Amino acid sequence: MEGINLVLLTILGILGIAAIYVYFSYTLMIIGKKTKTGEKWMAWIPFVQYYYICKIGKKPTWWMSFFIIPPVINNISNYISLNSIVLSLITIISTVYVVMIWMNIAERRKMSKWLGLMELVPIANELSQKFINILLPAKSFL
């Protein structure tokens, strides 16, 4: 009986992760469409999505490293000794740049750039940022 519960829980977890991935990719594709950014297929490929977000936000390609560096550094810190202050600074700097990208995306949608700050709110960053950018017409929020 416990084996069946574990299998069901695993299946539910995989379906949940897949649903989140599809939601993020679809909303990113719609934002790309509304900002007239080409190559909407990029929204569906992991890691290429970071390049596409930078492209929508009209930021240099190398800015995609701010999405990738914090998780990589955190994983490396499990194997080598890194100062926690250094880890925190890297994460804070990366977060500031990611917020700046989303601020540019909100401006391109003719919305308040301060919507980019929603990226700082856990869970709300996925739900509200993309939801607002997709469903609300331009100039209707803030």
Cβ contact 93:65 at 8 Å? no
Q: What is the DSSP string of 18-58?
A: HHHHHHHHHHHHHHHHHTT-S-GGGGGSTTHHHHHHHHHTT
Q: Please give the pLDDT value at position 45.
A: 94
Q: At what angle do helices 48-56 and 65-76 cross, to 10 degrees?
A: 140
Q: Please give the pLDDT value at position 14.
A: 96
Q: What is the DSSP string of 70-131?
A: HHHHHHHTTTS---HHHHHHHHHHHHHHHHHHHHHHHHHTTS-GGGGGGGGSTTHIIIIIHH
Residue segments in the chain with a per-residue pLDDT below the cut of 50: 140-142
Q: Please give the pLDDT value at position 129.
A: 62
Q: Please give the pLDDT value at position 142.
A: 40
Structure pTM? 0.81
Q: Please give the pLDDT value at position 141.
A: 43
**Rounded CA separation 68/126 (Å):** 17
Cβ contact 90:70 at 8 Å? yes
- Residue 101 in tokens: 């990208």
